[in-house]
Amino acid sequence: MGGKVTCTLGEVKQRADFIIYWGGNPAECHPRHFTKYTIMQKSRFLPRGRKDRTMVLVDIRETKSAKAADIFLQIRPGKDFELITILRALIKGQPVADEQIAETGLSRAVVDDLIARMKRAKFGCMFFGMGLSMTRGKHMNSAALLCLAAEMNAFTKFVAMPMRGHGNVTGADVIMRWQTGFPFGISFNRGYPRYNPGEFSTVDVLVRGDCDAAFIIGADPGATMPQPAIDHLARIPTIVLDPHVTHTSRIARVHITTAPQGIAAPGTAYRMDELPMPLKPALKSPYPSDEEVVRRINEAIARKPFWLPDGRQPQMVATLG
Amino acid sequence: MIRITGGKVYDPANGIDGEIKDLCIDDHGKFVASVSGGRTIDATGMIIFPGGVDVHTHVAGGAINFARAMTPEDHRRTQAFMRTKTRRSGLGGMAPTTFATGYLYAGMGWTTVNEAAVPVLSARHTHEELADIPIVDKASLTLMANNEIMLDLLEQGEFERAKQVVAWYLWAAKSYGIKAVSPGGVAAWKWGKDAKQLTSPIAGYDKLTPGDIVTQLARICDEMGLPHPMHLHCNNLGAPGNIATTLDTLKHLEGRRAHIAHSQYHAYGGDGWDTMRSETTQLAEYFNTHPGITTDAGAVVFGDTVTITADGPWQHLLYKLTGRKWGNLDVENETGCGIVPYTYRPSNLVNAVQWACGLELLLLIRDPWQVFLSTDHPNGGCFWRYPEIIQLLMNADVRKECLQKIPDRIKSSMVLPEITREYTLSEIAVAMSAGPARALGLKEKGNLGLGCDADLVIYESDPDVLKMFGHPRYVIKAGEVVIEDGDIREAPQGKEFLVKPAYDPATDEFMRPLFEDHYTMSFENYPVEFERLEHPELRDCIPVTER
Amino acid sequence: MSLQVIENATCTFCGCVCDDIQLHHDDMRIHKANHACVLGTAWFLNHTAEKKYPVALVDGREATLDEAIEAAATHLHAADMPLVYGMSNTTCEAQKQCVALADQLGGLLDSHTSL
């Protein structure tokens, strides 16, 4: 169990004749997803484009994306995990009681029809959004959906992909993986990377009051995080890099204005399918780039005394057994 | 400047087999006849090899980075590299972080690595990762045998055009050569299928067979004059009875240069998982009678690892067999990859046969210039376990000990128990350095001659081969002492090799409409900018007929 | 004054990272972002090359870049458990520097993903 069966967006454009959006509202949050990558595209394998594809939207409310869907499945809030689990059972022919299906807000006939369509597809793709990954069940929901996609490969080609938002968050994920082995939630306090979401993830750290300084870049936790987390940011020295003076800047000890990426700062950003795209800034900013500022902070810290005078850190553990 | 005195030098590229000889290195990191001043290293009683060259490894890019994400439990238990004032932290293990990859390779005396599978679409990402692998020099190979635009051209019989397009892609990727993975098989996997027969048309094509792709792509590599021949992962990897496919593939290559990747995975007899047996004798015989073709072992070592390959259908099978995590990433138009964590066990027939096959090929192929040390990292095992394989090659008694762990019923499925050959130090130097360097067309690597790159490793002579090769006394990279007495002294940035094969400038306009049909990014943004590469080194392409 | 045009520019507003945007701009602002969606258009048109904010603020007062960098370095170096967080709206090149920063500090490193 576990893992991820996925593809780049061009595979969806080329081949996907069956597309499910689950807990996402691309029409409003990723407006060009339909037209550039998925249902509206024509391809050599799907020459009639939209007519050759079926789109299903699974969500707890009828968003604008429902208009684009062939089938809209409105499920009860917090029942995503249950529905995915039922689908995983039913595709394998395992028995599921009517009451269990009814609990999700769907009828057996609707679920059976969905399964028949999934199995009939030549190439199925499930995109999942924050309506799945950030609601009751959270990462368990994502894991269940990824399992469903993997298991569908016993019948036909099937893949799944998260609808990542927040600009270049995918780039952060990819880079942290190659430089530290882990995608987020990392501590270097033993001199090498360790991973423990819940312990080292930011909201938890801030709410517990575990950190004694914060460096915030490309995010505005002062506008999005729970109040106890914001209170802690205000208590400790907080440093903010942002093109705007943000909510977080106002409680920070240091704010540095930087050039916005892709508009005035060059570089690279990763698409949600982990392909890197070069940035082509149009404007010359009066402000320095994030890269330049962080590099200069790194250099300034490097000039200060290191942990041990001989250039090492105090070692608790050299090799783990 | 460095002078190394009194060491016993093994430099097979120059026919030097254990001579006591001084070596001098100038300030440009090259071997020279003499130096005045600088550091002197007294290597009396020590053994000197050219730095190791890995002809086939997976250390950077989307696939290994996917594997890193899938194995956090391994990162926790593995070797940790502490941050120092001058050096980044890192983690070793099954899928090491980039920084740790450089430390681990250099730590056992390897100074050049070839990343063997890069989709053009993730080439930009791969180069960024390669730039974060310190110390070693690097090259990368572009995946081409499932590229649909190229396959369409071959189907239409447009060989010349296909050649231009391949050259265009290579330059777009800024890579060093061409990798063919299971020709046609990954394209078929896009519909959940595979291509196992060399002479049957590929799913979605009327005429084109895997055999056609093998032959024509090898010809393209030769005519373009790539320094490294086509690097081929044959069809039907890992399957019992695949020896027939492998021999058939080799026949499709007659008259061409080729490097056969991880041949261990392609040397099995039997007709099912319970009848699988080694057929390395047949495969070795082919190499022994065809001196122009090279291979690397793709040896298996027992224990945990994570398997990653562009061979998507194989990984789906492995997931079904093991029930473990499964990662899959299909890349539009070009290729795909699959990732499954795996444990090789001596008590398991299939695993034991795989373990034996890798060693058998290394021992049965007589010329060490034809068969190189590799584990197809991390597929057969992690690269940092190479010293274990060296020990098994050099010491028949250690092999016997290992064979005792294998159930008797399995031993009849292998030939390893009958092999008595032991590698000499000189043969090891060929298999780990001089041979792969020559196969890669890197003349200044794996060679301690004047003017070559001063990449070398100095071992304390020790009857315990595992200790000797696992813990070099010094490693010198481009004339800089990077490892000394078990410590990383410096972590300099290495070079990256690439080629710029000539192509008709009209190829750009030919590609544009096809590209816009097949891809989702802008044509202009697709080629990796040359400026992105750190320390690039362009190599010439000389057509094989003009050499 | 005629506008300059950049072809195939990349929009980093959402995870689609569309790289086919045609930007029409002068020295100060982007006037048109062809092919961009409503969100992308707003993203491109709302950022300008104006100096709307001070270069830096230290303890609420305007400061030079050098002063702010030194203050940031001093706070982070003095901390026992500094946190490096965010990295969504920035480039990969800056993200690499952020990982190096957390590594050098022996601190915590986290992104939006953990939310």
Residue B250: CATH number of its domain: 3.20.20.140
User: Does B289 contact C at CB distance below 8 Å?
Assistant: no
Tell me how far the alpha carbon of residue B172 is from its chain's centroid: 22
Nearest C-alpha in A relative to C112 = A169
Asked if C62 has any chain A CB less than 8 Å from its own CB, the reply is: no
Whether the predicted pLDDT of A158 surpasses 90: yes
Nearest-by-CA chain C residue for A226: C115
Residue B137: which domain range?
A: 48-496
pLDDT digits (tens, 9 = 90+) for B37-47: 999 999 999 99
Do A318 and B519 lie within an 8 Å CB cutoff? no
Average pLDDT of the residues in B101-107:
97
Cβ of A14 and B336 within 8 Å?
Answer: no
* B51/chain A closest Cα distance in angstroms: 25
Q: What is the pLDDT of residue B100?
A: 98
Whether pLDDT at B173 is above 60 = yes
The answer for B376, left when phi > 0, alpha when psi is -120 to 50, beta otherwise, is left
Shared-domain flag, residues C60 and C35? no
Instruction: Report if residue B88 sits inside a domain.
Output: yes
A123 touches chain B (CB under 8 A): yes
In a domain, C14, yes or no: yes
Instruction: Give the mean pLDDT of A296-314.
Output: 84
Q: Which residue has the higher pLDDT, B189 or A100?
A: A100
Nearest to C42 by CA among C13, C22, C6, C8: C13
Q: Which of C19, C25, C108 sits opposite A205 (nearest CB)?
A: C108
Q: What is the pLDDT confidence band of residue B335, given thresholds at 50, 70 and 90?
A: confident
| Whether C62 and C42 share a structural domain | no
CA–CA distance, B88 with B68 (Å, rounded to integer): 18
Q: Which domain holds residue C27?
A: 4-46
Question: Residue A314's pLDDT is what?
Answer: 63
Q: Is residue B34 part of a domain?
A: no
Q: For residue C108, is it within any domain?
A: yes
pLDDT tens digits, one per residue of B450-507: 999 999 999 999 999 999 999 999 999 999 999 999 899 999 999 999 999 999 999 9
Residue B435 within any structural domain of the chain: yes
Residue B545 counted as domain residue: no
Q: Is the Cβ pair C109, A187 closer than 8 Å?
A: yes
Q: What global pTM score does this model have?
A: 0.95
Looking at domain A169-302, which CATH architecture does it have? 3-Layer(aba) Sandwich (3.40)
Tokens of C43: 């993203």
CATH of the structural domain A9-162, one choice from 3.40.50.300, 3.10.180.10, 3.40.228.10, 3.30.70.100: 3.40.228.10
Least confident of A275-289, B315-329, B487-501: B315-329
Tokens 């080329």: give the residue: A14
Inter-chain contact C79–A30, Cβ cutoff 8 Å?
no
Our CA-based measurement puts residue A189 at a distance from the nearest CA of chain C, in whole angstroms, of 4
- Residues composing chain A: 321
Nearest to B442 by CA among B26, B2, B54: B54
Region B191-204: what's the mean pLDDT? 86
pLDDT digits (tens, 9 = 90+) for B4-50: 999 999 999 999 999 999 999 999 999 999 999 999 999 999 999 99
Q: Is C19 on the interface with B (CB under 8 A)?
A: yes
Q: Is residue C51 part of a domain?
A: no
Number of domains within chain B: 1
Q: Average pLDDT for residues B531-546, to the nearest whole number?
A: 93
* CA separation for the pair A73, A106 (Å, rounded): 7
Which ranges of chain C have pLDDT less than 70? 1
pLDDT of residue B21: 95
| Shortest distance, CA A188 to any CA of chain C (angstroms) | 5
Residue B311 predicted with pLDDT over 90: no
Question: Which residues in chain C touch residue A167, judged by CB atoms under 8 angstroms apart?
Answer: 12-15, 88-90
C100 and B88 within 8 Å at the Cβ level: the answer is yes
Which residues in chain A touch residue B128, judged by CB atoms under 8 angstroms apart? 178, 268, 276
Q: Distance (Å) from the C-alpha of residue A279 to the closest C-alpha of chain B?
A: 9
Q: Is the pLDDT of residue B213 over 70?
A: yes
Q: What is the pLDDT of residue A239?
A: 98
pLDDT score of B182 more than 70: yes
- Suggest the residue from C37, C70, C110 to mutate for an interface test with chain A (most A CBs closer than 10 A): C110
Report the pLDDT value the prediction gives residue C96, as an integer from 0 to 100: 98
pLDDT on residue C31: 96
CB < 8 Å to C13, chain A: 167
Judgement on whether residues C30 and C71 belong to the same structural domain of the protein: no
Confidence of residue B288 (pLDDT cuts 50, 70, 90): very high
Q: Of B70, B71, B74, B97, which to mutate for an interface test with A (greatest number of A Cβ within 10 Å)? A: B97
pLDDT, mean over chain B: 95
Q: Does the pLDDT of residue A317 top 60, yes or no?
A: no
- Yes or no: say if B390 and B432 are a contact pair by the CB < 8 Å rule: yes
pLDDT at B121 over 90: yes
Band of residue A320 on the pLDDT scale cut at 50, 70, 90 = very low
Residue A315 pLDDT greater than 80, yes or no: no
Answer yes or no: is B175 within a domain: yes
- Looking at per-residue confidence, does B545 or B108 come out higher? B108
B18, part of any domain: no
Chain A neighbors (3+ CB pairs < 8 Å): B, C
CB contact under 8 A, B128 and C92: yes
* Higher-confidence position of B334 and A250: A250
Domains A9-162 and A169-302 share a fold: no
B125 touches chain C (CB under 8 A): no
Q: Per-residue b/e over B492-528, b at no fewer than 16 CB within 10 Å?
A: eebbbbbbebebeeebeebbeebbebbbbbbbebbbb
Residues C34, C82 within the same domain:
no
Domain ranges of chain A: 9-162, 169-302
Is B393 within a domain? yes
Asked if the structure places residue B426 within a domain, the reply is yes
Answer whether residue A318 shows pLDDT above 60: no
pLDDT for residue A305 is more than 80? yes
ipTM over 0.90: yes
Task: Say whether pLDDT at B530 is over 90.
Answer: yes
The candidate with the shortest Cα–Cα distance to B126, out of B327, B395, B334, is B334
C110 and C62, same domain (yes or no)? yes
| Number of domains observed in the structure of chain C | 2
What is the rounded average pLDDT of the residues B322-348? 90
Q: What pLDDT sits at residue A208?
A: 96
Same-domain check for residues C63 and C106: yes
What are the backbone angles phi and psi of residue A280, rounded to the nearest 5°? -130, 85
Contact between B521 and C19 (Cβ < 8 Å):
yes
User: Nearest CA to CA, how far is B319 from chain A (Å)?
Assistant: 9
Higher confidence at residue A123 or residue B335? A123
Give the whole-angstrom CA distance, residue B2 versus residue B20: 17
C113 and A297 in contact by Cβ < 8 A?
no
Contact A1 B325 (CB under 8 A): yes
